Structure 1
Amino acid sequence: MTTTTQTVYPYRYDVVGSLLRPAALKDARGKFSAGKIGADELAAVQHDETKRVVQEQLNLGLKAVTDGEFNRSWWHLDFLWGLTGVGHYDYKQSYKFHGSKTRTDNADLVGKIAFNPDHPFFKTFSYLQTLVPDDVLVKQTIPSPTMLFRDNRSDNWSQFYDSWDQYLDDLAKAYHETIEHFYALGCRYLQLDDTTWAFLISKLNETADDATAHAKYVKLAEDAVRVINQLLAGLPEDLTVTTHVCRGNFKSTYLFSGSYDDVADYLGQLHYDGLFLEYDSDRAGDFTPLKRIWHNDSHKRIILGLITSKFPELEDPAAIKDRIQQASQYVPLDNLGLSTQCGFASTEEGNQLTEDQQWAKLKLVKQIATDVWGH
């Protein structure tokens, strides 16, 4: 965790991570899946398209850029599959988004969890590093480890471990070593994307009158805090690690609703340098929980996801500035920033807007943030 006296990252205007997949990349992935082209041909298209979207981000003046997550099909599963001890299977069920059905891929345990020195994300990160000038930061996004002990992915943990705690220890270690390797490759800004907290907002609220069911979700929240803080402990001081609390993002639909109130105290315990929080609709509730999430940490920055990535219409800058001022009643303005509420393509299908509309959204984020903070 960053321990410098002045918060630098996340930036006042920041990109969450994923970007709309261009037609050329979607076509290449389809041909690769059908066995019509090889891995090298897919990688060549991926490199070309990554280079293009990096340049688009640089043209906008972003200080941190991503590869748009062009190296993956899912925001979370591709990374999890790259860890030692994780397998790929057909879940035979879609994730329950409002009005849309996803593909049925999933991950499960096939052995003990461990760092994989040949994880394919390392190679794509190194390529991304070659595309940016020295004064621009590469932002690497990966899913939170909580995504592996949710949604049936760890049901068979007892086949490989004597205790649940041993499993969580290995998971934290695998992540810690993975992040250390990203650091060795030059990474100084990494984000853990996490839908677990939004899932818990729904479940803790739903089970408030059922003590047994409620205790199950309290335990999940406590385990999440334990594993995340364990993997963050002892990371290099000049590495910034943030999280994005996601409420689901698939073809402009969502999974979860509810105020941050039920998870604010847990989020406040996490040793992140910054939290990206979705606030683009009434589904997120008001700003009151921010004070408990920020927790009077002068080094922690809260990034307000006030600009939606789900729809093309541009927000009114005056209304967004007013909401930033409202949030500053709970977190000092100096500890706030602005972003879209999520990425634009958490899966390769992408949200229902065009690339031009995507860039217009990010341009608006930068314009408003510059007006508010001056940089």
Structure 2
Amino acid sequence: MMIPTEPIGSIPRPPELVAALAAGDVPRERLERLYEDAVRDTVQRFEATGSPVITDGEQRKYHNFWTYPVHGAANTSPDGFQIPFAAGHTRRMPRLASAPFRYQRYADEFLAMAQRYATVPVKQAVISPSALSLMYPPEGLPGYSRDQFLADLLDEHETEIRRCLERGAYKVQVDFTEGRLAVRLDPSGGLLTSFIDLNNLALGRFSEAERQRIGVHTCPGGDQDSTHSQDVDYADLLPSLFNLKVGNFYVALAGETDPVRVLKIIRQCMLPGQRVFVGVISPIDPVVETPQLVRDRVLQAAEYIPPAQLGTTDDCGFAPFCDDLSTTRDTAFAKIRARVEGTALASAMLEGLS
């Protein structure tokens, strides 16, 4: 019995890449070399941890995991939806200023570069339609209805996932960090329900076999060692989350104050055929977990989730926004190694009990 283990996505970028992006006037050829060097180094260091599945560390995602598809679009404005973090800082989305909504790039281009260097399977994270739906201004746009915007958004999202699957992504992970945030913004649950429904419109376009290669990630957000919705009760999110039409769920757990309570909710809500990858590593905690601690977290999870439906992951990416240097690359890879080794220890123990 081997419990599968997968990363979420981002790894802190090398400082020289972060500096070049911040400068903004670096020649394109040099910037491309820095990107490629970062991807090559990330893949090599990822594989050195023993991780059976890797990502490209989101090294080439333009500025962040949230708005990379539309970064640089001429019909956007920087004064969009604002995300407040507990540490006091904020991040902003771009606002769609005019029709039409179109991606500037698809994530399969990031996947392709990682695959050039990887010798193990590579998964690819993509942003959810519900997150990008926040780009549409509340006052609307002349001649471009919200319904038409959503139709275009769903088409673009479907195209991105299909391109990643066709390019051989091991899994395509839909980032849904705004799920828990939606409960904070609208405690009635109406916003969350609309997000779930919108994402299911996209997921419903895929076959059952394809959906077994698609997953959804939820977390309280992570940026500069802070979160945007850690205090939102998982009980208000998880029952709706497991209605999403995917085969895999990546649920942040290591940072929770009462993981047993969350595991009990997961047990009540999860459905047959769904695999739940529980977070056993906290990326915003500077202390590197030991394999023994990870082992114990996996064994605890196995008391509530059938091992055949259990997996492990990190709570979140280590640097979802490219300028976040609060965690070093060395720390990120040390934590990943602990997850891999600790999951193997727990697997061996569960095998012995079966």
User: Is the TM value for this pair above 0.5?
Assistant: yes
AA at the equivalent of 2:44: Q
Name the counterpart of 1:231.
202
Q: What is the alpha-carbon distance in structure 1 between the residues aligned to residue 138 and residue 200 of structure 2?
A: 23
Deviations 1:185-223 (A, max 9, x none): 33342111112211133345xx4xxxxxx2xx42x2222
Name the counterpart of 1:88.
76
Contact residue 191 and residue 242 of structure 1 kept, 8 A: yes
Q: Evaluate the alpha carbon distance shift between residue 89 and residue 245 of structure 1 in structure 2; reply closer, same or farther with a 3 A threshold.
A: same
Q: Evaluate the alpha carbon distance shift between residue 353 and residue 269 of structure 1 in structure 2; reply closer, same or farther with a 3 A threshold.
A: same
Q: Evaluate the alpha carbon distance shift between residue 255 and residue 224 of structure 1 in structure 2; reply closer, same or farther with a 3 A threshold.
A: same
Q: What is the alpha-carbon distance in structure 1 between the residues aligned to residue 143 and residue 276 of structure 2?
A: 38
Deviations 1:129-162 (A, max 9, x none): 21112xx212111111111223x64424453444
Give the C-alpha shift of residue 52 in structure 1: 0.6
1:159 paired residue among 134, 142, 149: 142
Give the C-alpha shift of residue 252 in structure 1: 0.6
Q: Evaluate the alpha carbon distance shift between residue 154 and residue 273 of structure 1 in structure 2; reply closer, same or farther with a 3 A threshold.
A: farther
Name the counterpart of 1:290.
266
Give the C-alpha shift of residue 320 in structure 1: 3.9
Name the counterpart of 1:242.
215
Q: What is the alpha-carbon distance in structure 2 between the residues aligned to residue 255 and residue 283 of structure 1?
A: 16
Contact residue 113 and residue 171 of structure 1 kept, 8 A: yes
Q: Evaluate the alpha carbon distance shift between residue 106 and residue 258 of structure 1 in structure 2; reply closer, same or farther with a 3 A threshold.
A: same
Q: What is the alpha-carbon distance in structure 1 between the residues aligned to residue 80 and residue 138 of structure 2?
A: 16
1:108 paired residue among 82, 96, 114: 96
Contact residue 17 and residue 68 of structure 1 kept, 8 A: yes
Give the C-alpha shift of residue 240 in structure 1: 0.9
1:276 paired residue among 250, 256, 259: 250
Contact residue 296 and residue 346 of structure 2 kept, 8 A: no
1:357 paired residue among 301, 326, 331: 331
Unaligned runs of 5+ in 2: none
Q: What is the alpha-carbon distance in structure 2 between the residues aligned to residue 43 and residue 223 of structure 1?
A: 39
Superposed counterparts of 1:111-130, under 5 Å: 111-114=99-102, 116=103, 119=105, 121-130=107-116
Give the C-alpha shift of residue 100 in structure 1: 4.1
Q: Evaluate the alpha carbon distance shift between residue 319 and residue 137 of structure 1 in structure 2; reply closer, same or farther with a 3 A threshold.
A: closer
TM-score, length-scaled by structure 1? 0.82
Contact residue 309 and residue 351 of structure 1 kept, 8 A: no
Q: What is the alpha-carbon distance in structure 2 between the residues aligned to residue 154 and residue 330 of structure 1?
A: 43
Give the stretch that moved more between structures: 89-98 or 240-249.
89-98
Contact residue 53 and residue 123 of structure 2 kept, 8 A: yes
Give the C-alpha shift of residue 80 in structure 1: 3.7
Name the counterpart of 2:239.
265
Q: What is the alpha-carbon distance in structure 2 between the residues aligned to residue 123 and residue 38 of structure 1?
A: 21
TM-score, length-scaled by structure 2? 0.86
SS in 2 for 1:138: coil
Deviations 1:311-337 (A, max 9, x none): 221335444434433333432122111
Give the stretch that moved more between structures: 265-274 or 328-337.
328-337
1:144 paired residue among 124, 128, 146: 128
C-alpha RMSD of the superposition: 2.8
Q: What is the alpha-carbon distance in structure 2 between the residues aligned to residue 197 and residue 325 of structure 1?
A: 27
Q: Evaluate the alpha carbon distance shift between residue 316 and residue 99 of structure 1 in structure 2; reply closer, same or farther with a 3 A threshold.
A: same
Deviations 1:252-303 (A, max 9, x none): 11110233211222112101121111112335762221024422x23x2111
Contact residue 172 and residue 215 of structure 2 kept, 8 A: yes
Give the C-alpha shift of residue 343 in structure 1: 1.0
AA at the equivalent of 1:126: A
Contact residue 26 and residue 348 of structure 1 kept, 8 A: yes
Contact residue 224 and residue 326 of structure 2 kept, 8 A: yes
Q: What is the alpha-carbon distance in structure 2 between the residues aligned to residue 199 and residue 188 of structure 1?
A: 28
Q: What is the alpha-carbon distance in structure 1 between the residues aligned to residue 170 and residue 302 of structure 2?
A: 28
Does residue 368 (structure 1) correspond to residue 349 (structure 2)? The answer is no
Does residue 18 (structure 1) correspond to residue 18 (structure 2)? The answer is no
AA at the equivalent of 1:40: E
Q: Evaluate the alpha carbon distance shift between residue 185 and residue 318 of structure 1 in structure 2; reply closer, same or farther with a 3 A threshold.
A: closer
AA at the equivalent of 2:299: Q
Q: Evaluate the alpha carbon distance shift between residue 127 and residue 320 of structure 1 in structure 2; reply closer, same or farther with a 3 A threshold.
A: closer
Give the stretch that moved more between structures: 243-252 or 119-128.
119-128
